[in-house]
């Protein structure tokens, strides 16, 4: 299981810069350092002093204190693998080798019904975990259409006979796997997993159709939010959409709500409000 964040200080600077469509030279001019130094910061080669970090925060619209804490690795979530939640069984699967992502098996303890969220790499590992859990998978839910989150979809559909669902805005990202999708996950709707209800909240930006699955105690947020960071974007419009969606639809939840992201350790709403530099 995870012992470090998905994104460290250099990643945060890079994601904020690219998301706002700034070249290295653009940010360097704002901060008053050589462009080569910005590159070295993003590559973990140097960590600037507190004064430079403060200027970086101001230039990128990041929270100064949280960014300084990130530079010294002050934050790591209390429950990186999640915690027990009454009535809900969550298997967090770290899938892949080298490049890792999180898939999930989410079960209703009362009924034994379950869903797979984001079946990325390693279909065999997912299927072994389903078998050992004793749960019956009745649907496959995709937070977005990037290949690392859907690459085991064909094997899962074949093995479980479960229908797959995604927001229709992301179908074009799926290639040939789009033919496995049988339904839409749309803002304002909800899905049932046994007797558990998850509300669907649009969290676009990382992709056009990014969707989060929100229960009163837990949310699956895909790549909209990582512990202490965000999923990447490459345009200012998408960056702003993502920040606004996360702030309004995820960070407005109760502080104790457990957040399961697409990469890196689990976190909570309260921890992200306290430590994520993208939010003030």
Distance of CA 83 to the CA centre of its chain: 18
Residue 9 has pLDDT above 90, yes or no: yes
The whole-angstrom separation of Cα 256 and Cα 57 is 27
Residue 232 has pLDDT above 90, yes or no: yes
Pick the CATH number of 9-71 from 3.40.640.10, 1.20.1250.20, 3.90.1150.200, 1.10.260.40: 1.10.260.40
Q: Residue 165: enclosing H or E segment and its boundaries? A: strand 164-166
Q: Which CATH architecture has domain 88-275?
A: 4-Layer Sandwich (3.60)
For residue 172, give Cα distances in angstroms to 126, 154, 178: 25, 16, 7
- The single-letter DSSP state of residue 197 is E
The whole-angstrom separation of Cα 1 and Cα 7 is 16
Q: How high is the pLDDT of residue 26?
A: 97
Q: How high is the pLDDT of residue 1?
A: 81
- Reference 87, options 166, 9, 197; nearest CA is 197
Q: In CATH terms, are 9-71 and 88-275 the same topology?
A: no
The whole-angstrom separation of Cα 29 and Cα 98 is 35
> What residue segments make up the domains of the chain, in order of their start?
9-71, 88-275
- The single-letter DSSP state of residue 50 is H
- Reference 135, options 107, 164, 163, 158; nearest CA is 107
Q: How high is the pLDDT of residue 248?
A: 98
Range 213-221 average pLDDT = 98
Q: How confident is the model at residue 51 (pLDDT cuts 50, 70, 90)?
A: very high
Indicate the pTM of the whole model: 0.97
* Total length of the chain: 280
The whole-angstrom separation of Cα 109 and Cα 162 is 19
The tens digit of pLDDT for each residue in 114-156 reads 999 999 999 999 999 999 999 999 999 999 999 999 999 999 9
Q: How confident is the model at residue 176 (pLDDT cuts 50, 70, 90)?
A: very high
Residue 20 has pLDDT above 90, yes or no: yes
Bridging pattern class, strands 101-108 and 164-166: unpaired
Residue 165 has pLDDT above 90, yes or no: yes
Residue 98 has pLDDT above 90, yes or no: no
């Amino acid at each position: 299981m995870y012992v470090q964040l998905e994104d460290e200080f250099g990643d945060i600077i890079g994601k904020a810069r690219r998301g706002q469509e700034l070249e290295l030279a653009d940010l360097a001019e704002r901060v008053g350092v050589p462009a080569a130094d910005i590159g070295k910061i993003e590559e973990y080669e140097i960590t600037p002093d507190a004064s430079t970090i403060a200027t970086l925060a101001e230039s990128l619209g990041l929270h100064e204190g949280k960014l300084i804490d990130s530079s010294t690795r002050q934050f790591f979530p209390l429950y990186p693998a999640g915690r027990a939640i009454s009535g809900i069984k969550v298997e967090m699967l770290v899938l892949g080798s080298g490049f890792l992502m999180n898939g999930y098996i989410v079960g209703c303890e009362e009924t034994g019904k379950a869903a797979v969220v984001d079946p990325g790499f390693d279909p065999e590992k997912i299927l072994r975990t389903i078998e050992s859990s004793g749960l019956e998978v009745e649907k496959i839910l995709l937070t977005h259409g990037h290949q690392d989150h859907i690459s085991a979809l064909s094997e899962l559909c074949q093995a479980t006979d479960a229908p797959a669902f995604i927001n229709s805005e992301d179908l074009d990202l799926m290639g040939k796997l789009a033919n496995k999708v049988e339904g839409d996950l749309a803002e304002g709707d909800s899905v049932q997993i046994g007797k558990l209800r998850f509300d669907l909240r649009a969290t676009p930006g990382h992709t056009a159709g990014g969707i989060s699955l929100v229960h009163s105690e837990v949310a699956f947020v895909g790549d909209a939010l990582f512990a202490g960071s965000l999923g990447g974007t490459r345009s200012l419009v998408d960056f702003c959409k993502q920040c606004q969606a996360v702030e309004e639809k995820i960070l407005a939840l109760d502080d104790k709500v457990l957040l399961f992201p697409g990469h890196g350790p689990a976190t909570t709403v309260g921890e992200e409000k306290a430590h994520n530099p993208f939010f003030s």
